[in-house]
Structure formats: structure tokens, C-alpha cells
Amino acid sequence: MLKHTLTALALATGLTATSLAAADYPEHNIQGIIQWGAGGATDNVARSLTPHVEEALGTKIILNNRPGGTGVIGMNAVMHKRPDGYTVLYGAENPQLYPIMGLADFTYADMQPINVIAQGLVVIAAPADSPFDSFQDLLDYAHQHPDELRMGDTGAGGLPSTLLAMINAVDSLEVRSVTFGGDGPGITAMLGDHIDFMPLSLAAAKEQIKAGRLKGLAVFTREPVESLPNIPPITQALPDIAAYLPWGPFWAVAVRKDTPDAVVDTLSDAYAKGVANEQFQRFLSDNSAKSLNLRGEEAEQFLKRWQSVTAWALEKAGSAKVSPESVGIPKP
């Protein structure tokens, strides 16, 4: 206990040299901050991955949800901790869009990515008794009756609005967007027929579609998805959207930018091992997510590409609050 107090004192007075700490990292528990709330997709990914990482790292990672502001709050918290590798961020795709949505002026580029874990698939779902049988039907109806269909949304910078923007970049789909607190409340509203359709992460909608409670109108891919082969790919209705594919939300782990290289290496090794774990891989495939397990240079490239594709699609559809050009996002 005395040692603990002394460490705290030393930290407080700024005596601890980060280089010293890096030598035998990790010396104590690590704090993991999840930028979305408990029970959501990011939370589930973080919590099922972490035990495997703890094993590889030989220390505990204490997870903490810091939701709010489309994830800005959690990310901001990590960026204000010491860059010693004792605070890691579990994030989703949203930070890549903060600058163009005017939410914050930082992205993953302002952090040190440790691992890009996996990418999710997206499905456009409708209530089981919906008059539409395919996305083409829905699009045709919307062309004749603009601004009449009710789309479930999760707010600016969320998955449905991003997807809508991508569709609007190649076609036109005018809808009333009804905002919910996340996938769950949106699906519930759809089950009660209170909205007409909603783009969802497949992980969230799969069970409802299998049970016939919801109808899948299109999957956001070029080819049909293995687990739900009857749902046509979006390219059937919108061939032009292929330019943006493959696209989907993703999950990543990152630490502060100035974290010592040795610590970054240790963490990257541990997370790579954790993601590769058989049990976690099964979790991903059960949830129709594609394992990526990218680190270092590869991870950075993936993040850049995702950002430029999505940001420019938003810009083209007129939904970007700030032009990607002005914040230095190159064209894809």
C-alpha cells in the first residue's frame, strides 16, 4: 500500500520518466475506455476481446464505458491521459468523421492505432409486413413519394445517416429521418411498425431477420452474405455504389500519440494475439463481422482509406458540415 502511495506521489510530481516505465511495461493494471455505452456492439467487442489480451499481456485491463457525443467524450478522455500506455481506447468508426461533422478536431490520426479489430456488415432492414420486398421497391416508392418514408436514424455521424448519404451520392432517397438512441431502440420501433426501414449493423439485426420479425431489403456489399444468402446485395438496385464498397463500421484500439515505441509494440503484440484467438474469431463470425487484425502501417492505411471514402461520399451527398478538403482529407 505504501508503494502505491509513493508511486502516486511520484506520478503527481512528474518524477516518473516515461522511458523508465516503458522498460518493464506493464507494471500495473491498464484502464480501457470504451467510447460507446454498455451492451452495444463496441462494448461487446471490447469485452469479449479483452480477456484474451489480458492473457497475452499478463495484466488486468479494467474496462470503463465513457459514452456520449458520438464517442467524442471517451476519445477525448484518453487523449488527456498520460501517454504511457496505461489508458487504451476501444473505439468504433465514428472518430474518422468527427472533423467533417464538426464534432471535434481529432481523429484516429491523432492517436497511435494499436489494432483495427474487425469490420461489420450492414443490412437495410424493414418490418416483416413491409410492402417492399427489395431495396429497389423501396427506392421506386421513395422516388414517387419523396419525404414520406420514415427511416430509423442514430443521429449525425451515426451509421444510418452515413449510409443514407452514400446512397444519396449516387441516387436520391428523400426520407424523414427519425432518430433513436442506437440500433436497439431503432429495431424495437421497427418491430412495432413505427418506422419503415433502417440501415443496421448485421450483427444487431441478424436474429430478427432469421426469425422473420424483420425483412432484409439489401446487404451493403457486392455479393450476398453467406449467413443470409437470400438478401440481395445493394449493387443490384444501385450498381454505382460499388465504388464505395466494401464499406462497413469497424472497431479499433488506440493509445495516445506519444506513447513510447516499446509500449506500443508490447500492446500491438498482445492485441494481435487476442484478436487471433480462436474463441474471439468465433465471436466475430457469429456476429457476421470480418476479422481484420491490422496493426502499425496497415492499420493506418485502412483508417485513411475508410475516412477518405466515407468523408467524400458525405460531401458529395451534401451532408458534410465541413468540407473534407478543408480538413485535409484526400480524395479516394
Least distance to another protein, CB of residue 300, Å: 25
Which residue's CB is nearer to another protein, number 65 or number 307? 65
Least distance to another protein, CB of residue 198, Å: 13
Least distance to another protein, CB of residue 11, Å: 8
Least distance to another protein, CB of residue 163, Å: 17
Which residue's CB is nearer to another protein, number 39 or number 131? 39
Which residue's CB is nearer to another protein, number 67 or number 332? 67
Report the b/e string of 309-327 with b at 16+ CB within 10 A: bbbbbbbebebbebebeee
Least distance to another protein, CB of residue 31, Å: 5
Which residue's CB is nearer to another protein, number 181 or number 246? 181
Q: Which three cell numbers stand for residue 149?
A: 418514408
Which residue's CB is nearer to another protein, number 77 or number 242? 77
Least distance to another protein, CB of residue 302, Å: 25
Least distance to another protein, CB of residue 7, Å: 8
Residues interacting with another protein, by CB under 8 A? 1, 4-5, 8-9, 12, 29, 31, 37-40, 43-44, 47-48, 50-51, 60, 62-70, 72-73, 76-77, 101-104, 147-148, 150, 153, 155-157, 176-181, 184-185, 187-189, 191-192, 194-195, 206-208, 210-213, 282-283, 286-287
Which residue's CB is nearer to another protein, number 73 or number 245? 73
198 forms beta bridges with 125
Which residue's CB is nearer to another protein, number 213 or number 304? 213
- Spatial distance between the Cα atoms of 236 and 268, rounded to a whole number of angstroms: 39
178 to 73, 139, 147, 154: CA distances (angstroms): 24, 18, 12, 8
- Spatial distance between the Cα atoms of 99 and 103, rounded to a whole number of angstroms: 6
Cβ atoms of residues 281 and 291 within 8 Å: yes
Cα 238 to its chain centre, rounded Å, is: 24
Least distance to another protein, CB of residue 261, Å: 26
Cβ neighbours of residue 312 closer than 8 Å, sequence gap 6 or more? 324, 329, 331, 332
Which residue's CB is nearer to another protein, number 38 or number 243? 38
Which residue's CB is nearer to another protein, number 15 or number 297? 15
Least distance to another protein, CB of residue 117, Å: 15
- Spatial distance between the Cα atoms of 209 and 99, rounded to a whole number of angstroms: 35
- Assess whether the previous peptide bond of 26 is cis (omega < 30° from 0): yes
- Spatial distance between the Cα atoms of 221 and 219, rounded to a whole number of angstroms: 6
* CA-wise closest residue to 71 among 97, 46, 91: 91
